[in-house]
Amino acid sequence: MKDMMVGVDLAKSVFQVHVASRTGEVQYRKKLSRKQFCAFMAQQEPSLVIFEACGSAHYWAREMEAFDHEVRLIAPQY
């Protein structure tokens, strides 16, 4: 999964996870709770994780970097 991108839509209790290859081919989508999300990402091989820049995105970025993922925060309009 080194060539994978994981897009995450952060919300209060449920996160939408969108996994795609670097070329943009969708692999799968999941709806996960906060606990499930952390466990799911801990099992994934290091990949690019993309968050919308918001209040909690910085916290989750640090958590993902602890699992050796590369993290990028993008502006909300994208």
Total residues found in the chain within this entry: 78
Residue type, 28: Y
H helix runs in 1-78, sequence order:
34-43, 57-66
For residue 52, give both structure tokens. Answer: 């919308």
- Summarised one tens digit per residue, pLDDT across range 8-23 is 999 888 999 999 998 8
Domain ranges, ordered by start, for the chain: 1-10+33-77
Q: Is residue 55 predicted with pLDDT exceeding 60?
A: yes
pLDDT for 2:
67
